[in-house]
Amino acid sequence: MLGEHKTLELKYSGNFLNKYLGKIKNDASIAIIEMIANCWDAASEEVRITWPDVGDPEGCIEIKDDGNGMTFEDFNSVWTEASYDRTKQGLKVTLSDGTTRNVFGRQGIGRFGMFCFSDKYYVETWRGEETNTFEISIGKPSSEKPFNIDHIDNGSKGGKGTRVYCKKEGMRSFLSADGLKNKICEKFYDNRKFRVWINEIEVEFPTKNPMCTEEYDIDGNKITISRYELDKIRKTKGIVFRINRRVVGEPSWDLIEDEIDIRRNEFKLLLTVDVDHLKDHVNDDWTGFNESDYIKSLMSKIRDKILDSLTDVFHASKRDMKKDAFKHNLTEIRKLNAQSKDKLGEVVDSLLSAYPTIGDKGLNNVVKVSQIVKIVQVDTH
């Protein structure tokens, strides 16, 4: 009727959660890392994961921690609020020994990581002699709510903690227990107040001390660059950015790829770049940094510092490349007089400085061709 006031109901399409949760809904490694990060933010010191075999289409997944736990009121104030701002609870949590650590969470989407494996999961949480169990399920397409939260049980239980679990549905995005362990090692670094078990086997975090560590001041913020040798635990090479010792994105040499030849042994190492002040610039799923002029400018400055920190590696790489090139062309080089050999050395040094990514094959070809030999031939008469 004309002029009648009506309130319309907001409905959610079946694709809403996929859009809202992003990669957490479809990538097992991102989902599980986000849930472990939630344990970290709850002041957990021990996290125990039950993880089924890849070939088990209906195995059970469980993540249990000894963190702060929640009362019914706590759960209701946090889990029922979409895009919950974790920082409202503070930027630090207190551990059992009275020490504190910084939290990771901001948007609270890690709560829904189990939707990656099932359309329905359960949360049992206990604190102060009170325990409650909730069922969280995906709403029907075009329903009034994208997901449902039902309080299905309560009772009493000592201690504190939270258990999140589900029955895996079919062969959704998944990874093996070993793959999960490797992913956790890549994303979290040694912290003696944070231990993780997978199927009763403790995850061994990288603990080896860095080969060297350098601190830089960039625009008034401390940037720490550390270099690690690869070992049986730390197998990934490249540059990784960290915030509060949690890795952002994936390790790679992309930032300096135009300056190095990553195939050489000298670059079989890992560089960690600690940028704790960038917490507000990281993507919600921690797969990278938000694009902005500030980040672009900062990365350029960090790139220069990384290259400075690798000066000795560059020297070693160039020295070995020059040595290998001369070795492969020894027959032709022996025909040169002493001055010509010196001149050839200068030409190769100039090439390595101007084209650091030339590679072994390219440098060998340069030294090998007869035109270069003629150029450096010096008349001693």
Residues 372 and 272 grouped into a single domain: no
Check if the beta carbon of residue 170 is closer than 8 Å to that of residue 57: yes
In a domain, 4, yes or no: no
- Other CB atoms closer than 10 Å to residue 16's CB: what's the count? 18
DSSP 25: G
Identify whether 6 is part of a domain. no
- As a dihedral over the C-alpha atoms of residue 261, residue 267, residue 268, residue 274, rounded to 10 degrees, the angle is -120
Residues 232 and 285 placed together within one structural domain of the fold: yes
216 and 334 in a single domain? The answer is no
Residue 118 counted as domain residue = yes
Domain end (from 169, 202, 235): 202
Which residue range is the domain that position 293 belongs to? 212-309
For residue 298, being part of any structural domain is answered with yes
Q: Is 133 helix (H, G, I), strand (E, B) or coil?
A: strand
Q: Is residue 288 part of a domain?
A: yes
pLDDT in tens, the chain (381 residues): 456 777 777 777 767 777 778 888 888 888 999 999 999 999 999 999 999 887 776 789 999 999 999 999 999 988 887 777 776 777 889 999 999 888 887 667 888 899 999 999 999 999 988 999 999 998 776 666 788 899 999 999 889 999 999 988 766 667 888 889 888 888 887 566 899 999 999 998 766 678 889 999 999 999 999 988 776 555 678 899 999 888 898 888 889 877 666 555 556 788 899 999 998 899 888 889 999 999 999 999 999 998 888 776 666 666 666 677 777 777 777 777 777 777 777 777 776 666 555 555 555 555 555 445 555 555 555
For strands 246-252 and 60-65, give the pairing: unpaired
8-state DSSP, 40: H
Same domain, yes or no, for 183 and 249? Answer: no
Residues 223 and 303 in one domain: yes
Three-class HEC string of 298-357: HHHHHHHHHHHHCHHHHHHHHHHHHHHHHHHCHHHHCCCCHHHHHHHHHHHHHHHHHCCC
Q: Are residues 279 and 334 in the same domain?
A: no
Q: Which 3 state secondary structure label does DSSP give 183? A: helix
As a whole number of angstroms, the distance between CA 299 and CA 302 comes to 5
| CATH assignment at residue 101 | 3.30.565.10
Domain match, 244 and 345 both: no
368 and 252 in a single domain? The answer is: no
Domain tally, the chain: 3
Contact 121, 165 (CB under 8 A): yes
